[in-house]
Structure 1
């Protein structure tokens, strides 16, 4: 099962303050641990919300509204994410509890969400074509 670990941003992150060298090294070591365990899928950091654009679609249709960052409230900011492939939500939680978090920057929140697998449409179309071809060949043999 794949899980996304979403690191919520803090005011420090939104202000563009970088962590210490030790904190950067700890994040790199954490990623290497994920890779060594064979669970790492991907990870990215986001720029602060001040560089973002939000598109709000009204209920019932209509023209979407565009909003430039920064966005409020702080709980909605996402600083980055990591995608891991583990067997259970409990295993994902164990990885989150090992994450290095910068001290002295207030409360840190990491949200864990299971990703739903999406079928590969192109592969699905190829499989359907192969099945149809096989059915044609079987009907010729009858």
Structure 2
């Protein structure tokens, strides 16, 4: 099962303030531990919302609306993420608890969310086969 550790934004991350060298080193060590354990799928930091674009769907069947950042509610914004693949919810919590304070200064907040497996969304054999084929194509293109 996969989980996403969502690192919430802070005023500093939204201002584009880079992390300290100490925090970068702590996160590198943490990511190395995840990789060594074979659970790391992906992980990245994100630019502030001032560099982002939001696509919203204001009405069913309507044309999507594009809004440029910045966005005001920093507590609702994401500064980065790590995706891990583990055997249980408890293991995901254990890994999340080991992450260094992602912003330092006692301001870090991580939201841990399980990622849906295709079988949780549908039992339709045709849709599941298409999903599996797509994942296989993506994996092959990554290796190419």
Q: Could you say whether these structures have the same fold, taking a TM-score greater than 0.5 normalized by the shorter chain as the test?
A: yes
TM-score by length of 1: 0.79
Aligned to 1:32: 32
Which contiguous aligned blocks of 4+ residues in structure 1 show a shift greater than 4 angstroms?
A: 122-125
Aligned to 1:50: 50
Describe the shift of the 1:58–1:108 C-alpha distance in structure 2 as closer, same or farther (beyond 3 A): same
For residues 23-65 of structure 1, give each alpha carbon's deviation from its aligned partner in whole angstroms, at most 9, with x where no partner exists: 1000000000001111111111111100001011013232222
Aligned to 2:104: 103
Q: How well do the aligned residues superpose, as a CA RMSD in angstroms?
A: 1.9
d(CA) in 2 for partners of 1:52, 1:60: 24
Aligned to 2:2: 2
Name the SS for the 2:90 alignment partner.
helix
1:90 aligns with 2:87: no
1:14 aligns with 2:14: yes
d(CA) in 2 for partners of 1:20, 1:52: 23
Name the SS for the 2:93 alignment partner.
helix
In the TM superposition, residue 123 of structure 1 has moved relative to its aligned partner by 4.8
The number of residues matched between the two structures is: 124
Runs of 5+ unmatched residues, structure 2: 119-127, 135-144
d(CA) in 1 for partners of 2:109, 2:104: 13
Matches within 5 A, 1:57-68: 57-68=57-68
Runs of 5+ unmatched residues, structure 1: 126-142
1:121 aligns with 2:130: yes
| Structure of higher CA gyration radius | 1
